[in-house]
Amino acid sequence: MGLPWICFSAFAVCLASCLKFHGHKVIQVQLETEEHVKLIKSMDKTFNLDFWRPDSSSRIAPKMTVDFHIHANHTETILHLLKQNTVHYEVLFHDLQAGIEAQLDNSRLRKSQKHKYNKYNDWDTITDWASKMASEHSDLVRLIDIGNTYEGRPMTVLRVGQSNAEGPAIFMDCGIHAREWISPAFCQWFVRELVSGYSKNEEIKKLLTNLTFYILPVLNIDGYVYTWTEDRMWRKNRSPAEDSDCFGTDLNRNFNVSWCDIGSSDEPCTEIYCGKSAQSEEETKNVANFILSHLKSIKAYISIHAFSQMILYPYSYTYELAPNSKELIPLLDRLMTGLIHKAYNTPSPLSCGTQASVVSSSPSLRYEPPVKKLHWPSNTSPIMFSLILPNKFCYTYCILH
Ligand SMILES: *[C@@H]1O[C@H](CO)[C@@H](O)[C@H](O)[C@H]1NC(C)=O
Ligand SMILES: *[C@@H]1O[C@H](CO)[C@@H](O)[C@H](O)[C@H]1NC(C)=O
Ligand SMILES: *[C@@H]1O[C@H](CO)[C@@H](O)[C@H](O)[C@H]1NC(C)=O
Ligand SMILES: [Zn+2]
């Protein structure tokens, strides 16, 4: 049971109409056999499970750890079925609503709507923050409008770098999936690290002398707003589908590379709907146009997600390795074992690789292909990474998917 949910509309945090998740559970299962996989897939058909990891039942396989969210009404039946079929499971959230409320950090929200780096900020607060970064650090930060979302919100890239020249650049997006709140929080934190580091950290200063970062703090703004006002678990954008009552395209699967291939769905009501055509959505079109118009300078594209502890790299839609994988794998391996391992002191449940060939010491962490559709044709392709932020260290309070 969660605490009574008090709505403060002044703060735009979940209005009275907001979808509630009382009694909903998030379950983690360890799948061993093909029978287990079949069971979960058939349960998905019957109960419409909401997959958190991986993000659809089409990608589950034996020896995998799978997390999904179940409706309160189905809890008893599902847990019974799991027991009956000897599927080992663990309940990650006993009451999802309580988890959401804890995460919203109400008491602090009520006091002020000031931007904070250690809590989640709503969209208006992030917009004000971006303007403030540009005005307070005009030597380093510039805002670039790349077009509007479906609902007409301007998408603003923060260009961070000392040079005005079209030198080498890295593009980073956060919040392509609306409910992955830790991702936009990361982008804001990253911008702060860059601007504050510039004056006191030689390495960052050197980095920003010739290198430019293009940072899009929330790619799926309409969806992000919707997670604050209507449904915390919303993932896609907010454009209505044709010939369907369902809303939203999975923007991550709307790019014009191997579009709507395995791992995506052409069914508008699914969470992995690829849209009616490649780049049919305003948000993906705007990002693609921006990248294409800066192809000479952009050397890498990083997309930040939740949750897992992985770095994914090209390609995601095939088992074939990217041409530069010989350079990439050792680099990413070093990053994983060095930086992240050191920071969190985890044994090694970290993996690094494409969905197709995850370099991992733990087979349960293999991420089956393909998930990431955010690639560019190889002849014009910037190097592409996708970081999935950790789940393990703050499960119950900071990483609701
Ligand atoms: C859950 O059960 C309630 C009460 O029986 C019902 O009103 C509601 O429609 C059910 N929801 C789903 C998703 O089955
Ligand atoms: C930046 O680029 C200039 C011109 O190419 C070069 O001379 C300089 O060494 C570079 N500085 C850093 C810190 O990389
Ligand atoms: C998608 O990519 C193909 C092949 O590069 C190209 O011919 C087509 O025009 C692109 N479509 C869009 C919507 O950009
Ligand atoms: Zn995601």
* Phi and psi, residue 145, nearest 5°: -80, 125
Ligand 2 centroid to Cα of residue 211, in Å, is 10
CATH topology of domain 23-94: Alpha-Beta Plaits (3.30.70)
Residue nearest to ligand 3 atom 10, measured at CA:
256
pLDDT over 60 (residue 107): no
Contacts of 327 (CB under 8 A, 6+ apart): none
- By mean pLDDT, which of 181-185, 192-196, 378-382 is the weakest? 378-382
H-only helix segments in 118-276? 123-136, 182-200, 202-210, 221-229
Q: Which sequence spans correspond to the domains of the chain?
A: 23-94, 116-229+275-398
Same fold, 23-94 and 116-229+275-398: no
Tell me the per-residue pLDDT of 160-173, one tens digit each, with 9 for 90 and over. Answer: 999 888 889 999 99
pLDDT over 90 (residue 318): no
Q: Is 46 left (phi over 0), alpha (psi -120 to 50) or beta?
A: alpha
Cβ of 279 less than 6 Å from ligand 3:
yes
Which among 256, 274, 285 is the best mutation to test ligand 3's pocket, defined by most ligand atoms within 8 Å of the CB? Answer: 256
Residue nearest to ligand 2 atom 8, measured at CA:
210
* Token pair listed for 373: 């559709």
CATH topology of domain 116-229+275-398: Aminopeptidase (3.40.630)
* Token pair listed for 276: 């009616």
pLDDT over 90 (residue 387): no
Whose tokens are 């303007």? That residue is 131
Tell me the per-residue pLDDT of 319-364, one tens digit each, with 9 for 90 and over. Answer: 666 777 777 777 777 776 666 556 555 544 344 444 333 333 233 3
86 — pLDDT class (breaks 50, 70, 90)? very high
Considering only residues 148 and 372, tell me which one the structure prediction assigns the higher pLDDT: 148
Considering only residues 90 and 362, tell me which one the structure prediction assigns the higher pLDDT: 90
Considering only residues 131 and 362, tell me which one the structure prediction assigns the higher pLDDT: 131
- By mean pLDDT, which of 12-21, 84-93, 243-252, 260-269 is the weakest? 12-21
Taking the C-alpha atoms of residue 254 and residue 276, their distance in angstroms, rounded to an integer, is 9
Q: What is the mean pLDDT of residues 48-75?
A: 89
